[in-house]
Structure 1
């Protein structure tokens, strides 16, 4: 590895990236200009006969808004309706095999509503006038909402609400969250946009059961814990339903601008998703093509921060079965204004959807992501230094990743009751990491140096068959069966060494020439996994929902390690899940579940004490969910008891042993509300009683696991003052996040105090198409230590203020 000339290389790299971004932006201009024109020119296929197809409907009695959402999902039809038209109207239950026309007739019976079919096959909801006009006259429809809410959160209603009522993540089927026997949180596109999140940690910061940013200014990875468990190795990170596992150090961060929603499934999930940490998973849903043309371009700027980007979608051409979406951004920025920090990005994600006929759909998801960043501003424990102080070497420090993704999702309706789905992705990722850091509080001690080159190629494919049927008016079945395969090959070469001491209060840098490095590791990790799973969701008398699932995983891990020797580990496990939901009313459900997790272990050491066993988890959970019909909201309370066994721990040097067991039990409370069209509220509280129950000879039994707070809470509110005269809408928002006291190590020797930080935003709608927003994180610039493990400490991020000017259509 070449260790010199990094400053010049970085400068030239930035020039190259900037030039490339200009070329990409120039290429996008014709597309951005042409998109609205193409939408105006599009003439869709005739809507004749779209209501004649039969489907197995299962729509419970509920609000008309929710009923139409489910009708759109179960029939595959697009619904257009003015939200005010159906507000406060209840819909009867519709169940059984029938045509779409018969289902609509039953839904609208006695409601004063009717429907029509537009030229493009869209169902347009209309109001029947019974007074003040001719009897039976139908008012012209007001086309406000373009798409019914889907499990993947389109640019429809979920774009205007912080509340999502459905998620495919919890069961791999399109199921209402109210019916799922598990705790599910969804961060919608509305919430992502309102808070202008800059990374995944910010996106999850207001979610119950999730702790983020435990390493503060260290921004190498997306750090989060769910129910007290950190998903090391990416065992908890998913994109579009497929895992984002990492094998050692070679991993990258996700781009939040490329997401249209984020699902958080809490608890053990291996019965559906296989290898996974026990606390749960985060599933990031990529932006997908939309049937209606639309888009935006924006620029975000602040102290040492500049971002430009855009997102455009719509039909590819007139009378085409193809739609597209193109999302991209370029960024030149520092991290929270810190000296010698970096957060530069280039991201572009083309996506296409092909719908050759009803019931068949192919979506191609591709992306390119390049990030030039650094490790973070570590400082020695117990030493009082300014948060901006950098104790590494500016010309050497880097954490650069480049990632290519190529994937697709295909679904085909084999019959009215049977559907086949396939989801696949190939990823190529490279990492260049270099750093110098202090590892001692003695200013006379040498600093440590580290360098790594890594490359990963991975492929995942998930095949699913879903069979939905209604045996009679009281018994409905949704059966899922799947086969999954994954392969990953990671190669890493690491060097280690040292650099001269530095003055903690007035550092003087010596440059690349003073750093000495020598070979430390050179290894390759290959892992193959094979899995088969099945799940049954049985609805009894519309009120009882039984969920049973099981999965068998077989994992082969091969390691060519540091010393030229090799290790092979074959692990397998059967994991199960059993859940029960009872619909007390159409608005309230109570549930309970038992679930298991499975996480394989591969050694990266010279030797292993004893036989390696997979880390296993079990969970018991009960909860209640409330989704009122009077306003758009979802409330969840969950109580859980979760245990993981066979935890791996270093036993000095490079040896490992499995001696650990951790128990985590607690309570989560979460509420998401769009109280009116102009007011949104998100609240969350988590209590965690986490304990190390086994720790071999270390004597840590009874201690709290590192970086796990006992209490955490958050509250966000935003309100829009409506336009008046010449003034447009003005939205004001603010939030506070509280994290309780934590420890930096399992021995509980290093304690970090609790802290609370405030966030704020203001958005002014200049015109219908132009908006100007200002977002502030850590508004009062609260200084706190986020991590201290006895070797290195990290401050939390300081205040960041960013302004965003956006034009949308």
Structure 2
């Protein structure tokens, strides 16, 4: 392997921290000593939250600057902390389930990874970000999952975006924003109970000193649960302390740490056509494991030099340990089954430096962003393939434990990915109504890998471009258009490739309109897009070689509405139409077909209403939601259809006292049994989660 670069050295070389004094703000009083009321300046809101309602006003994902959503020349959906709580979200899948353009529940009750598609493109492994820094999948099995309780919002930036974020797929990215220390004291503690589910957690913090220079936050969660099927696990321990030092209004430094332990399961599929109950467990109780220990330490630094110049730096180091043990389900469970064990270790270090300069020239306002980021992702996996005894009668399986599983010699694989990106962006506003956004980024990605005894090194370089324009027809309505590109090196064993592997590239054209009425807290958006990915890696029919002749095009329409009325009514709605087509393929018979897993139609709506309390009776909130996922195919040959499904969710919350609430959240209210995916290679059907009811008692202060 090549020479390793010290992450600490990179951090030191790229850090800039210059502290400037700031005059203290003083309260004013009249001659009689009466304190004047403070003047509150309204703005587009924070680009990272927290948000007061389900309606976000700004996002940092759209441009890496705090940009009002109305001004951004891109489609951005934000799921705020308020919405996460109202819907009782427990996974990233559930968080994104009501977001147009995003298809979740790809592998049903399978809880190994966060599976989702954005605008028709499978995005697992290369599209999940946290606080603007990537969470790439290491190797084939070693990765982690987002804990929603740790987040104060989850953003979806749709479409190609490598001009800002570097290596990513064409559909877009999901950026989870970590809960940060706040200026005021706050806290909550809760307990959640359900069938096979016990959970408790707390989240509290506030200033540590009278001047508010130091503030802290501690978020903790413990869960002992199954994954919807007997003998499966979804156990979690999450602990996240955070500390902010803010000596002046111009400078802040936040230290973020967390420990995230998840014990999950790998056996969720059912042999297709077997006719057995979808909740039957066919794995091995003592062997089936998807256990992950994740440790993070990082920071967020900001300093405003004055005169429009600000520097920001985010960094994070991650250590992952993964135990993946699984027995493959078989259509004939009386015969021997295949077994797999993978033990992985991964480390990540990513740092992003941003220098922002704002200036005005007559009718023009300029915001220029320069950035440099660096990443180092190292992964080691040891894989063992073996066999296990059958379970006998598939309707009454007999488990034999670890003793019936045997393996041959293991195969080691290692990979190191080093990325460097240099980017620039200009946001030029004319007369507060016309906003031009232009950006470009150069990426250098170096891969060193050993897989199945084969070594290979590769260097991929790319320059990604982006151009957009926003016209604010009124203070409430804006229309926009953009062109953007994506860049993603292939992550397969390149010894199987015919010819020189090229990065997969995406190009998107998009137009849209946004409406943010001044009279109510709401945001309505519509977008039309044309998105194409080229150089798609594909296997030959006999799996003897890989080619890069694939080309996929998705044209679509997305509609979204988020409304919060008078603290009593919340409403969200979304609709997506995806016209997806395989335009080029190594198998010419597939040209013109629909890519697998991509539904043509998706729709969702959520409504909740609060009945005000009266006398001794507290507020009562009732919520109901529905999700439609249209039919799709489980294969590119379009021979294995996956039926459409309509699912309903519900919620009820009773405010016992001002600071005590009892709530219940129900997913899949009608307990619908449905297939999310069919794996034709193993003849396995993956079923979605059945009805889940969770009751929560929460105390806040």
TM category (shorter chain) comes to: over 0.9
Does the 8 A contact of 1:544 with 1:581 survive in 2? yes
Q: 1:650 aligns with which of 539, 545, 569?
A: 539
1:561 lines up with 2:457 in the alignment? no
Cα distance between partner residues in 2 of 1:447 and 1:753: 29
Q: 1:373 aligns with which of 260, 264, 267?
A: 264
User: Which structure 2 residues correspond to residues 747-766 of structure 1 after superposition, within 5 A?
Assistant: 747-766=637-656
Does the 8 A contact of 1:559 with 1:603 survive in 2? no
1:151 lines up with 2:47 in the alignment? yes
Does the 8 A contact of 1:217 with 1:376 survive in 2? no
User: Which structure 2 residues correspond to residues 185-224 of structure 1 after superposition, within 5 A?
Assistant: 185-224=77-116
Does the 8 A contact of 1:222 with 1:253 survive in 2? yes
1:331 lines up with 2:223 in the alignment? yes
Who is 1:397 aligned against?
A: 288
Q: 1:252 aligns with which of 144, 161, 164?
A: 144
Aligned-residue offset at 1:438: 1.7
Aligned-residue offset at 1:252: 1.2
Q: Secondary structure at the match of 1:602?
A: coil
The verdict on how the C-alpha distance between 1:116 and 1:453 changes in structure 2, with shifts beyond 3 A counting, is farther
Does the 8 A contact of 1:557 with 1:602 survive in 2? no
Cα distance between partner residues in 2 of 1:333 and 1:464: 42
Aligned-residue offset at 1:604: 2.6
Aligned-residue offset at 1:50: 10
Who is 2:367 aligned against?
A: 478
Who is 2:25 aligned against?
A: 47
Q: Secondary structure at the match of 1:272?
A: helix
Q: 2:389 aligns with which of 482, 500, 518?
A: 500
Does the 8 A contact of 2:267 with 2:283 survive in 1? no
Cα distance between partner residues in 1 of 2:408 and 2:96: 39
Who is 1:237 aligned against?
A: 128
Who is 1:308 aligned against?
A: 200
Moved over 4 A (4+): 115-118
Who is 2:473 aligned against?
A: 584
Unaligned runs of 5+ in 2: 1-22
TM-score, L = length of structure 1: 0.81
Does the 8 A contact of 2:568 with 2:609 survive in 1? yes
Does the 8 A contact of 1:216 with 1:794 survive in 2? yes
Who is 2:329 aligned against?
A: 438
> In the TM superposition, what whole-angstrom CA distance separates every residue of 1:41-66 from its partner, at most 9, and x where no partner exists?
xxxx9631899xxxxxxxxxxxxxxx
Who is 1:521 aligned against?
A: 411
Does the 8 A contact of 1:606 with 1:654 survive in 2? no
Unaligned runs of 5+ in 1: 1-44, 52-114, 127-144
> In the TM superposition, what whole-angstrom CA distance separates every residue of 1:530-585 from its partner, at most 9, and x where no partner exists?
1100000000121110000000000000101211x310010000000000110011
Cα distance between partner residues in 2 of 1:194 and 1:320: 31
Who is 1:795 aligned against?
A: 687
Cα distance between partner residues in 1 of 2:88 and 2:434: 40
Does the 8 A contact of 2:141 with 2:324 survive in 1? no
1:575 lines up with 2:428 in the alignment? no
Cα distance between partner residues in 1 of 2:509 and 2:444: 25
Does the 8 A contact of 2:578 with 2:601 survive in 1? yes
Cα distance between partner residues in 1 of 2:40 and 2:122: 47
Cα distance between partner residues in 1 of 2:343 and 2:690: 30
1:710 lines up with 2:600 in the alignment? yes
Q: Secondary structure at the match of 2:306?
A: coil
When structure 1 is superposed on structure 2, of 745-754 and 262-271 the one drifting more is: 745-754
User: Which structure 2 residues correspond to residues 118-137 of structure 1 after superposition, within 5 A?
Assistant: 123-124=38-39
Does the 8 A contact of 2:99 with 2:574 survive in 1? yes
Q: Secondary structure at the match of 1:414?
A: strand
User: Which structure 2 residues correspond to residues 609-688 of structure 1 after superposition, within 5 A?
Assistant: 609-651=498-540, 652-653=542-543, 655-688=545-578
1:734 lines up with 2:624 in the alignment? yes
Cα distance between partner residues in 1 of 2:222 and 2:272: 36
> In the TM superposition, what whole-angstrom CA distance separates every residue of 1:147-170 from its partner, at most 9, and x where no partner exists?
99411112xxx23x1101111110
Does the 8 A contact of 2:263 with 2:291 survive in 1? yes
Q: 1:464 aligns with which of 351, 354, 357?
A: 354
The verdict on how the C-alpha distance between 1:164 and 1:613 changes in structure 2, with shifts beyond 3 A counting, is same
Who is 1:55 aligned against?
A: none
Q: Secondary structure at the match of 2:164?
A: helix
User: Which structure 2 residues correspond to residues 762-801 of structure 1 after superposition, within 5 A?
Assistant: 762-790=652-680, 791=682, 792-801=684-693
Aligned-residue offset at 1:649: 2.0
Residue correspondences, number: 670
Cα distance between partner residues in 1 of 2:575 and 2:267: 29
Does the 8 A contact of 2:456 with 2:494 survive in 1? no
Structure number with higher relative contact order (C-alpha < 8 Å, ≥ 6 residues apart): 2
Who is 1:534 aligned against?
A: 424
Q: Secondary structure at the match of 2:70?
A: helix
Who is 2:615 aligned against?
A: 725
Q: Secondary structure at the match of 1:179?
A: coil
Q: Secondary structure at the match of 1:463?
A: strand
Cα distance between partner residues in 2 of 1:444 and 1:340: 20
Q: Secondary structure at the match of 1:707?
A: coil
Does the 8 A contact of 1:219 with 1:376 survive in 2? no
Who is 1:346 aligned against?
A: 237
Who is 1:295 aligned against?
A: 187
Who is 2:55 aligned against?
A: 163
The verdict on how the C-alpha distance between 1:514 and 1:164 changes in structure 2, with shifts beyond 3 A counting, is same
Q: Which has the larger radius of gyration?
A: 1
Cα distance between partner residues in 1 of 2:90 and 2:36: 42
When structure 1 is superposed on structure 2, of 525-534 and 785-794 the one drifting more is: 785-794
The verdict on how the C-alpha distance between 1:685 and 1:148 changes in structure 2, with shifts beyond 3 A counting, is closer
Who is 2:279 aligned against?
A: 388
Cα distance between partner residues in 2 of 1:431 and 1:655: 29
Cα distance between partner residues in 1 of 2:538 and 2:285: 33
Cα distance between partner residues in 1 of 2:562 and 2:409: 52
The verdict on how the C-alpha distance between 1:46 and 1:542 changes in structure 2, with shifts beyond 3 A counting, is closer
Does the 8 A contact of 1:605 with 1:654 survive in 2? no
Does the 8 A contact of 2:642 with 2:676 survive in 1? yes
RMSD over equivalenced CA pairs, Å: 1.9
Aligned-residue offset at 1:698: 5.5
Cα distance between partner residues in 2 of 1:522 and 1:606: 16
